[in-house]
């Protein structure tokens, strides 16, 4: 017999006021007895996820939406408008300044699709988030990959030089995987230089880790993007918002640019993600708590590596990039054997550096115990 | 069970009104694909018969799995448990193929677009029908690729003979079976003969068989083209969980084909194109075939009822093998749609070249179709809808 929403609400034992009281753990607990026991999971420090996931208010919104509104069976595009409205309100802009995607990855791909061609290359750091370059390869767009500078920051001078004739310049700030930040002033100046070198090129600023930045010299480029058709800012709900599984990202920009970025429409967005993102963008307090939590765990991790004799870059993200003075692969493989997953190789630095995501403080204590054994660090160092 | 969409929206975002992006967003997949303004926001409509959705949504097993997956909402779908890999296996299991024969998409739209990218070019056009689901031709238009549109026959069936002729030197043939919006079906033999003929006359041409409405088919002559896709490197079957599975909001579709073909699709897919909640729900749904059988029976009954409403009013209805009907209403679809929308019923959009005479109406619950029937009878002026009492006679859904 067909399933009804009322039965759903009954089954899961919630409804009315108790919705708000339902805790995430309690909710999960309702079902844990019914499934087969799962093997213990390794520490997941390889994909820069928020270890706590979305906030309770966010999950309550999804529960409420799916229980009361039953939209899981309906195409979700009307809800996208509510999400765009909520994002626009958060930035003090208009919904025409907002578009969204299946994670910011879709936004990035579409930017490459619509602003580059075989004749209009992509400019990107040689060691940066790979989505743009990967998609450029697929569609036959040449990539000008600019090596990092000696401090493992994106080399803005060289990138601006390379921008001449380009269709798109990709700037990940802070940069994944190096965790480094470019100051607001530096990015401002860079944009001006790109504009004069390549007036038609779009500068795509990927601010995926924005909410984890603690350096006061940082500035989002969202305000500029709204006014400047040649700048767009990409953001994601996969990091500080803790929604990597729900696949929602967005872009802020000039209406003209936003319209071009609507190339694939909103077909890839799911209703749970849309509802969750709409709730999450309004929960600034939780973002601040998450940033504080991450900052403490990040400090602990960087200090541990430092005391053990391994330098990290100045991380402004939820991961650290560490010179472990040995190939990442062997380190990673041994970590996996001992129950800790760390990130993949990042050439050309795969012989010396590893990226480690920041979990909870407790997870980082357990992880650094493992790292200590593998790196031959004595208890004194840790 | 009636679903109060208005109260849902009120709870999430109070006081929201329609504004410009809402015009795009306020449409289902169908309207969204075609462009043009929606007369009424979906949230304000009483009955949604415009996007061929399952009115009951996902089954219970799917919803329970979905809520269990909340604990992993913060993990990428490859890290969540269950993971995207687990879903690939569930799809393979359900279709008796290997996981390597499956490529996943955020709905089948993504796979349709990938097929256009992979197989067409400026010198190798797309062959599609008129009318049929527009996503492939929309993609071809976006890429500047030529499109050969082959009109359906007088019964609304894809003209396979003309499509085979048009397929010579083409890059891709889009074959929607049953066809949206005409709801008509080609039996297994006809599809197999078509694939064999195109394979002989134009061996480089790929054929994408879109089986979005597969689970609603009741014609015993029908069979899936999955075995043909496993046999031929240039044949792909697309499926979606947006229809009978009732998961249009969750965005899950997949393609089946040879490993090498699916590898190419995988390269083009959006990174992490399925969300962790949908992955869990989809696995549960795929492992619950009894629910789909019940949904098919429910739709079949409501489809017969809906067909009778129109026939009793004297309108010709094409032989539907889907969860919608395509009706010769003898007047423009646009005015019909707008008149219905003003009365709270959303029906399908215009489908050129038949937009002057035909309308598409999705199948809701019997209760919804009864209420819609009253409105449709008013709008179309003619006779009356079928008497309500007759609904109770046929068999009940299992």
Asked if the interface predicted TM-score (ipTM) of this complex is over 0.85, the answer is yes
Cβ within 8 Å, pair B51-A75:
yes
Q: Which residue of A has its CA nearest to B299?
A: A2
- Which pLDDT band, with edges at 50, 70 and 90, does A36 fall under? low
pLDDT tens per residue, range A330-382: 999 999 999 999 999 999 999 999 999 999 999 999 999 999 999 998 655 44
Cβ within 8 Å, pair A59-B76:
no
Which site among A52, A131, A237, A247 would you substitute to test the B interface, given the most B Cβ atoms closer than 10 Å to its Cβ?
Answer: A247
CB-nearest partner of B60 from A7, A59, A86: A7
Whether residue A39 lies within 8 A of chain B, CB to CB, comes out as no
pTM: 0.89
Which site among B10, B11, B54, B67 would you substitute to test the A interface, given the most A Cβ atoms closer than 10 Å to its Cβ?
Answer: B67
CB contacts, 8 Å: B246 with chain A: 72-73
d(CA A168, CA A108): 10
How many contacts, defined by CB atoms under 8 Å, are there between A and B? 273
pLDDT tens per residue, range B324-365: 999 999 999 999 999 999 999 999 999 999 999 999 999 999
CB-nearest partner of A2 from B51, B56, B142: B56
| Tokens, residue B13 | 């975002």
Give A3 or B383, the one with higher predicted confidence: B383
Specify whether the CB–CB gap between B117 and B139 falls below 8 A. Answer: yes
pLDDT tens per residue, range B98-107: 999 999 999 9
Cβ within 8 Å, pair A81-B56:
no
Cβ within 8 Å, pair A11-B248:
no
CB contacts, 8 Å: A138 with chain B: 267-268
Task: Please enumerate, as own/partner, the contacts of A332-341 that have beta carbons within 8 Å and a separation of 24 or more.
Answer: A334/A374, A335/A370, A335/A371, A335/A374, A336/A42, A338/A370, A338/A373, A338/A374, A339/A40, A339/A42, A339/A43, A339/A370, A340/A42, A340/A43, A340/A45, A340/A366, A340/A367, A340/A370, A340/A371, A341/A42, A341/A43, A341/A44, A341/A45, A341/A46
Is domain B5-57+290-392 given the CATH code 3.90.1150.10 in the classification? yes
Q: Which residues pair with A123 in a beta bridge?
A: A144, A169
CB contacts, 8 Å: A53 with chain B: 71-75
Cβ within 8 Å, pair A242-B73:
yes
Whether residue A1 lies within 8 A of chain B, CB to CB, comes out as yes
Specify whether the CB–CB gap between A72 and B3 falls below 8 A. Answer: no
Task: Note the Cα B339 to chain centre separation in Å.
Answer: 24
Whether residue A286 lies within 8 A of chain B, CB to CB, comes out as no
What is the 3-state composition of chain B as percent helix, strand, coil, each rounded to the nearest 5?
Answer: 45, 15, 40
Instruction: Give the position of tokens 């969202």.
Output: A222
Domains B5-57+290-392 and B60-288 share a fold: no
pLDDT tens per residue, range A108-123: 999 999 999 999 999 9
CB contacts, 8 Å: B263 with chain A: none
Length of chain A: 382
Q: Which residues pair with A204 in a beta bridge?
A: A170, A232
Cβ within 8 Å, pair B247-A72:
yes
pLDDT tens per residue, range A217-246: 999 999 999 999 999 999 999 999 999 999
For residue B52, the model assigns a pLDDT of 97
Name the residue ranges covered by the structural domains of chain B.
5-57+290-392, 60-288
For residue A378, the model assigns a pLDDT of 63
SS3 B17: coil
User: Mean pLDDT over residues B22-42, rounded?
Assistant: 43
- C-alpha distances (whole Å) from B290 to each of A36, A88, B42, B93 are 22, 44, 31, 15
For residue B158, the model assigns a pLDDT of 98
For residue B21, the model assigns a pLDDT of 25
d(CA B314, CA B121): 46
- Which pLDDT band, with edges at 50, 70 and 90, does B41 fall under? confident
User: Mean pLDDT over residues A95-101, rounded?
Assistant: 98
User: Mean pLDDT over residues B189-211, rounded?
Assistant: 98
Pairing, β A231-236 against β A249-253? antiparallel
Give B382 or A158, the one with higher predicted confidence: A158
d(CA B193, CA A310): 67
For residue A37, the model assigns a pLDDT of 58
**C-alpha distance from B215 to closest chain A C-alpha (Å):** 15
pLDDT tens per residue, range A283-318: 999 999 999 999 999 999 999 999 999 999 999 999
User: Mean pLDDT over residues B221-235, rounded?
Assistant: 98
**Domains along chain A with CATH numbers:** 68-283 (3.40.640.10), 285-375 (3.90.1150.10)
For residue A56, the model assigns a pLDDT of 87
For residue A39, the model assigns a pLDDT of 75
For residue A25, the model assigns a pLDDT of 35
CB contacts, 8 Å: B280 with chain A: none
Give B171 or B44, the one with higher predicted confidence: B171
pLDDT at B218 exceeding the cut of 80: yes
Mean pLDDT across chain B, nearest whole number? Answer: 88
Cβ within 8 Å, pair A28-B29:
no
Fold observed for domain B60-288 = 3.40.640
Give A347 or A24, the one with higher predicted confidence: A347
Cβ within 8 Å, pair A73-B247:
yes
B131: cis peptide before it, omega within 30°? yes
pLDDT at A179 exceeding the cut of 70: yes
For residue A313, the model assigns a pLDDT of 98
Cβ within 8 Å, pair A38-B81:
yes
Q: Which residue of A has its CA nearest to B280?
A: A245
pLDDT tens per residue, range A248-267: 999 999 999 999 999 999 99
Instruction: Give the position of tokens 């080609």.
Output: B186
pLDDT tens per residue, range B47-86: 999 999 999 999 999 999 999 999 999 999 999 999 999 9
């Amino acid at each position: 017999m067909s399933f009804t929403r009322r039965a759903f609400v009954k089954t899961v034992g919630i409804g009315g006021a108790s919705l708000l009281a339902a805790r995430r753990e309690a909710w999960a607990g309702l079902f844990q007895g019914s499934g087969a026991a799962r093997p213990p999971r390794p520490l997941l420090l390889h994909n820069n996820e928020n270890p706590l996931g979305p906030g309770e208010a966010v999950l309550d919104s999804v529960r409420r939406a799916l229980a009361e509104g039953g939209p899981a069976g309906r195409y979700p595009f009307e809800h996208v408008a509510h999400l765009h409205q909520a994002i626009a309100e958060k930035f003090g802009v208009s919904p025409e300044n907002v578009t969204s995607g299946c994670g910011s990855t879709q936004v990035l791909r579409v930017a490459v699709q619509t602003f580059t061609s075989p004749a209009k290359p992509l400019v990107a750091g040689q060691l940066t988030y790979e989505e743009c370059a990967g998609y450029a390869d697929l569609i036959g767009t040449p990539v000008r990959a600019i090596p990092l500078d000696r401090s493992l920051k994106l080399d803005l001078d060289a990138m601006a030089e390379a921008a001449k004739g380009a269709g798109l310049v990709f700037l990940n700030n802070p940069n994944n995987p190096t965790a480094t930040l470019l100051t607001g002033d530096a990015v401002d100046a860079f944009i001006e230089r790109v504009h004069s070198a390549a007036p038609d090129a779009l500068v795509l600023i990927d601010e995926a880790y924005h909410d984890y930045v603690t350096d006061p010299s940082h500035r989002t480029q969202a305000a500029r993007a709204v006014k400047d058709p040649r700048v767009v800012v990409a953001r994601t709900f996969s990091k500080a918002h803790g929604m990597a599984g729900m696949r929602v990202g967005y872009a802020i920009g000039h209406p003209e640019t936003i319209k071009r970025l609507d190339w694939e429409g909103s077909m890839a967005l799911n209703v749970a993600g849309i509802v969750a993102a709409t709730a999450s963008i309004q929960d600034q307090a939780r973002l601040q708590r998450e940033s504080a939590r991450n900052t403490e765990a990040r400090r602990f991790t960087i200090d541990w590596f430092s005391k053990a004799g391994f330098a990290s870059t100045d991380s402004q993200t939820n991961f650290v990039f560490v010179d472990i003075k040995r190939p990442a692969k062997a380190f990673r493989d041994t970590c996996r054997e001992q129950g800790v997953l760390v990130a993949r190789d990042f050439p050309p630095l795969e012989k010396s550096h590893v990226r480690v995501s920041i979990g909870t403080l407790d997870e980082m204590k357990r992880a650094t115990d493992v790292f200590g054994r593998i790196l031959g660090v004595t208890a004194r160092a840790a | 069970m009636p679903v109060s969409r208005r109260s849902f929206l009120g709870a999430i975002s109070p006081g929201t009104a329609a504004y410009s992006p809402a015009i795009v967003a306020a449409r289902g997949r169908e309207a969204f694909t075609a462009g043009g303004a929606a007369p009424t926001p979906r949230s304000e409509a009483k009955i949604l018969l415009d996007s061929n959705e399952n009115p009951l949504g996902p089954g219970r097993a799917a919803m329970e799995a979905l809520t269990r997956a909340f604990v992993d909402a913060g993990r990428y779908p490859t890290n969540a448990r269950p993971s995207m890999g687990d879903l690939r296996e569930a799809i393979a299991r359900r279709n008796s193929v290997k996981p390597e024969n499956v490529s996943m998409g955020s709905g089948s739209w993504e796979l349709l677009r990938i097929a256009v990218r992979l197989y067409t070019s400026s010198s190798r056009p797309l062959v599609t029908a008129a009318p049929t689901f527009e996503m492939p031709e929309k993609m071809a238009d976006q890429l500047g690729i030529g499109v050969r549109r082959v009109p359906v026959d007088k019964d609304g069936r894809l003209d396979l003979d003309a499509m085979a002729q048009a397929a010579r030197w083409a890059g891709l043939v889009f074959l929607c079976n049953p066809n949206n919006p005409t709801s008509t079906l080609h039996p297994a033999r006809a599809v197999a003969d078509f694939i064999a003929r195109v394979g002989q006359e134009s061996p480089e041409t790929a054929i994408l068989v879109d089986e979005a409405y597969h689970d609603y088919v009741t014609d015993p002559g029908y069979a899936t083209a999955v075995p043909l896709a496993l046999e031929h490197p240039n044949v792909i079957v697309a499926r979606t969980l947006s229809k009978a599975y009732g998961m249009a909001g969750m965005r899950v579709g997949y393609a089946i084909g040879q490993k090498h073909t699916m590898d190419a699709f995988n390269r083009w897919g959006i990174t992490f194109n399925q969300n962790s909640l949908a992955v869990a729900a989809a696995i549960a749904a795929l492992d619950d075939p009894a629910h789909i059988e019940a949904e098919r029976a429910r739709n079949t009954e409501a489809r017969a009822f809906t067909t009778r409403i129109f026939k009793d009013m004297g309108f010709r209805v094409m032989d539907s093998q889907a969860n919608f009907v395509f009706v010769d209403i003898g007047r423009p679809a646009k005015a019909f749609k707008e008149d219905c929308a003003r009365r709270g019923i959303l029906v399908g959009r215009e489908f050129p070249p038949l937009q002057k005479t035909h309308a598409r109406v999705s199948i809701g619950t019997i209760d919804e179709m009864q209420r819609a029937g009253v409105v449709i009878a008013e709008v179309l002026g003619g006779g009356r809808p079928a008497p309500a009492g007759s609904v109770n006679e046929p068999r009940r859904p299992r």
